[in-house]
Amino acid sequence: MSKTFYERNLVKEWNLIMANKVTVLGSLNVDTTLRVPRMPLPGETLSTENKSSAAGGKGANQAVAAARAGAETRFIGKVGNDDAGRFMVESLQNDGIDTSAIVTDQTVGTGSAFILLDEAGQNSILVYGGSNQQIEEKEVLADEDDIANEDFLITQFETPQAAALTAFKVAKKHGVTTILNPAPAAEISPELLTYTDLVVPNETESADLTGIEVTDVASMDANAKKFREMGVKNLIITVGSKGAYYATEKASGFVPAFKVKAVDTTAAGDTFIGALSSQLKPDLSNIETALVFAQRASSLTVQGLGAMPSIPTYDQVIEASK
């Protein structure tokens, strides 16, 4: 991507955008990363080169990305009554995220994830849902007054879809724009899609949901048409190192990714969504500008190790764009 074409005049626009108010309903996991020379074959034992732990979870990563990019961010979630849970809450608070809607489960432990990271920067992830899977609809409804004041509500599939549907219904009741990241890929509630303003899958997730393989722009257009038939008018498909496709009611296009050397792709997609929500207008009228910002933020994330530790701040994105 040419910085001259895409960014020279965009930094000023990013600086002028007022802080969005974003609530994330999502997962809180303690991530343990194991560095390996390559992914093990079935039945094979490999020695790890390094082991590290950090705060993570798709929901937490997206919230941190939004907060570091300048959004006023709140979190709805659940942790266990354990050290891991207290660590996750403190980690969000350290980034200025409002954690008042995080509930402590007295019977189930905090979620966790185990990440295998190879020398090429690719990863495989195993997730234990834990307390993330215990979020109840009544806990979402208890937060209605705060949701009503937001610009965006974001959720993913590491927490129950029933809670997501309740949250989206509340959001739409109050005119809040809803963003669904259907990851990890799962069978989706048709009703949830009808309350979704913007769906943001990667190419694999999009194909799983529509039945249309993503190979080129024409197939992405076909995916957008299918999503409209399913009730979602606006779509972004992230295509890894290639970039991101978007389709709204008014326009469609493809924004190329920035070319960088990836060290660790963990949280790249989460950074993209969080950063996007910090810049996007609720009516999506500046979607291409916001996409460029999100792509730049994601390109910085993949150049660092770990999920949350590698998520950039607003100033870092701006500096990289000069």
pLDDT tens track for 260-299: 988 888 789 999 999 999 999 999 999 999 999 999 999 9
Residues at the annotated binding site for K(+)? 264, 266, 301, 304, 306, 310
User: Is 102 contained in some domain?
Assistant: yes
pLDDT tier at 306, thresholds 50, 70, 90: confident
User: Is 128 contained in some domain?
Assistant: no
- Active-site position among 143, 208, 270, 315: 270
User: 24-79, pLDDT tens digit by residue?
Assistant: 999 999 989 899 999 999 999 999 988 988 899 999 999 999 999 999 999 999 99
User: Residue 232 sits in a domain of what CATH number?
Assistant: 3.40.1190.20
Catalytic residue list contains 83? no
Residues at the annotated binding site for substrate? 29-31, 57-61, 158, 270
**Collapsed DSSP state (helix, strand, coil) of residue 94:** helix
C-alpha 72/C-alpha 68 separation (Å) is: 9
Report the candidate in 267, 298, 317 with the shortest Cα–Cα distance to residue 61.
267
Please, what is the average pLDDT of the chain? 92
Q: Which domain holds residue 152?
A: 3-26+56-110+135-320
The tokens for 302 are: 């993949």
- Contact (Cβ atoms closer than 8 angstroms) between residue 123 and residue 117: yes
The tokens for 257 are: 């990714």
C-alpha 167/C-alpha 190 separation (Å) is: 15
User: Is 119 contained in some domain?
Assistant: no
C-alpha torsion 90→91→94→100, nearest 10: -50
User: 74-86, pLDDT tens digit by residue?
Assistant: 999 999 999 999 9
Residues at the annotated binding site? 29-31, 57-61, 158, 202, 238-243, 264, 266, 269-270, 301, 304, 306, 310
The tokens for 65 are: 């990305």
User: Is 70 contained in some domain?
Assistant: yes
Query: Is the model's pLDDT at 144 over the cut of 50?
Result: yes
pLDDT tier at 12, thresholds 50, 70, 90: low
C-alpha 248/C-alpha 221 separation (Å) is: 11
CA distances to 141, 161, 215, 230 from 226, in Å: 31, 21, 15, 6
